[in-house]
């Protein structure tokens, strides 16, 4: 159900194929590719097994993208998973997803990315790590006074700037996304070429191994890290209602974007392990910087910091662009604050939703609690993620008459494989972090009173 204002004005289909594909590539490739290879090799030990993990994670992500391609083409509405869950399981499940995205998952992700941007910038401007002021209340870690750093103010300003960019139209935000994604891919491509042509590496590294956890536990732990690095390919589905010719462009953007990310990740790791041995990668928390330092010296490591900042900037812009459509979709269905469904009469963007999500993410940056909140909801978010993918199967049975311009390849094995993988992730998370998992469920269930309040409000009108 839509508010009259949303119906009268509506969002505008101004995002083309390349803009949509850049959301996939730009939001997936953040800081993960610069960091997670060290964690992965510590878990699996051998280089060849690490590549098996990367390929497995890539295939699972592709299976997810193939499943979402059917959903996105059949239901090209703003909100992505919110819409799929609503249609497959009812409005409550869509609301719980949207509630989680607004207050914790997407806002926490935006806060994390913005903070990562300023942390990399401290390599050039160390004064950003300094304390601007201290709030003398027990709001910090372990009940300590809350320290606000200069870098946090910068992170908030970056969020604000990108919110303004996206406020002025999906075409403006989409063009910015294309530009920063092209620059990002170009810089990562340069790192790959420099590493492989440096003459400072050895092919013997690919046959070496280092001490690791190993076995099934090590493989699965490495796969979790890889899936984290691949996360974000689904974001383009959130802007479905603003993509030109969505029945064609959405599946293409999801599939081509995901395949592009897999190729970039594999080539980047080939460069890493050509220059560095498995033991050296395991000892390098910032493996890209260590590789470039080995090849070009300190200025090479500094160049990686620049590449990481631009990579994070693209992921941040894509997250604001896509994530703001979820609260808008909820409000349009009268399951959230009515003003959030407002569409700007000139720019045709969900302007209030953009500002609300960005403001809340900026406050999370200031609080310093975004990472803790995000950890809490990994468990519950993964459940909703798996349910959204399973919507392909549910809707095939529930709504066989639904027009499906694209049908998932190798149905039902492709969505089932992804759901099984997510189920294993959920079980592992619950086993390893039962307290955090249950607290995360509690955070999400806090939304139930609000759901029933808005439902009652709708019924009474």
Encode pLDDT of 234-266 as tens digits. 889 999 989 999 989 999 999 999 999 999 999
pLDDT of res. 6: 38
CA angle at 183 for the pair 180 and 188, rounded to the nearest 5°: 125
Q: Please say if the pLDDT value at position 161 is more than 70.
A: yes
By percentage, how much of the chain surpasses pLDDT 70? 95
Q: Please say if the pLDDT value at position 372 is more than 70.
A: no
Q: How many other CB atoms are found less than 10 A from the CB of residue 375?
A: 16
| Nearest residue to 243 (alpha-carbon basis) of 69, 388, 110 | 69
Q: Please say if the pLDDT value at position 398 is more than 80.
A: yes
Whole-model pTM: value is 0.89
What are the tens digits of pLDDT across the range 341-366? 999 999 999 999 999 999 999 998 88
pLDDT of res. 116: 86
Structural domains of the chain, with CATH: 4-460 (1.20.1740.10)
The pLDDT confidence band at residue 373, using thresholds 50, 70 and 90, is: low
pLDDT of res. 444: 86
pLDDT of res. 95: 95
DSSP H stretches of helix in 12-149: 17-28, 32-44, 47-74, 81-89, 91-100, 106-121
What are the tens digits of pLDDT across the range 98-122? 999 999 889 988 988 898 888 889 8
Q: How long, in residues, is the chain?
A: 461
Written as six digits, the tokens of 152 are: 């946090």
Q: Please say if the pLDDT value at position 56 is more than 50.
A: yes
**DSSP symbol at 148:** E
| Nearest residue to 199 (alpha-carbon basis) of 129, 287, 296, 281 | 296
The answer to which of 5-9, 236-240, 244-248, 268-272 has the lowest mean pLDDT is 5-9
Question: Residue written as tokens 């939304």?
Answer: 447
The pLDDT confidence band at residue 277, using thresholds 50, 70 and 90, is: very high
């Amino acid at each position: 159900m839509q508010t009259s204002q949303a119906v009268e004005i509506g969002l505008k289909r101004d995002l083309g194929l390349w803009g949509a594909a850049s959301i996939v590539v730009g939001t997936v490739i953040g800081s993960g590719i610069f960091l997670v290879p060290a964690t992965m090799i510590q878990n699996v030990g051998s280089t060849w097994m690490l590549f098996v993990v990367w390929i497995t994670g890539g295939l699972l992500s592709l299976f997810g993208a193939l499943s979402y391609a059917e959903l996105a083409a059949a239901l090209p509405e703003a909100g992505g998973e919110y819409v799929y869950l609503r249609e497959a399981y009812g409005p409550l499940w869509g609301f719980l997803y949207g509630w989680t995205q607004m207050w914790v998952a997407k806002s926490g992700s935006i806060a994390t990315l913005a903070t990562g941007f300023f942390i990399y910038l401290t390599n050039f401007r160390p004064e950003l790590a300094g304390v601007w002021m201290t709030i003398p209340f027990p709001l910090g870690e372990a009940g300590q006074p809350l320290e606000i750093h200069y870098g946090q103010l910068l992170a908030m300003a970056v969020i604000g700037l990108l919110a303004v960019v996206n406020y002025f139209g999906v075409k403006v935000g989409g063009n910015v996304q294309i530009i920063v994604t092209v620059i990002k891919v170009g810089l990562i491509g340069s790192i790959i070429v420099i590493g492989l042509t440096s003459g400072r590496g050895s092919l013997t590294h690919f046959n070496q191994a280092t001490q690791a956890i190993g076995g099934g536990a090590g493989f699965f732990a490495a796969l979790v890290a890889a899936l984290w690095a691949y996360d974000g390919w689904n974001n383009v589905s959130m802007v479905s209602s603003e993509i030109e010719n969505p029945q064609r462009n959405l599946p293409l953007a999801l599939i081509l974007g995901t395949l592009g990310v897999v190729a970039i990740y594999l080539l980047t790791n080939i460069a890493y392990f050509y220059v560095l041995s498995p033991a050296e990668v395991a000892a390098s928390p910032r493996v890209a910087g260590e590789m470039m330092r080995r090849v070009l010296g300190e200025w090479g490591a500094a160049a990686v910091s620049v590449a990481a900042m631009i990579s994070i900037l693209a992921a941040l812009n894509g997250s604001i662009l896509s994530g703001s459509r979820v609260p808008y979709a909820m409000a349009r269905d009268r399951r959230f604050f009515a003003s959030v469904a407002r569409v700007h009469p000139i720019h045709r963007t969900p302007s209030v939703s953009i500002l609300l999500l960005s403001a809340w993410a900026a406050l999370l940056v200031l609080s310093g609690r975004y990472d803790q909140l995000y950890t809490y909801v990994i468990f519950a978010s993964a459940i909703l993620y798996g349910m959204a993918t399973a919507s392909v199967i549910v809707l095939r049975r529930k709504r066989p008459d639904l027009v499906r311009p694209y049908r998932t390849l190798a149905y039902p094995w492709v969505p089932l494989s992804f759901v099984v993988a997510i189920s294993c992730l959920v079980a592992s998370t619950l086993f390893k972090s039962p307290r955090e998992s249950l607290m995360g469920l509690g955070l999400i269930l806090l939304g139930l009173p609000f759901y029933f309040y808005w439902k009652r409000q709708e019924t009474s009108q």
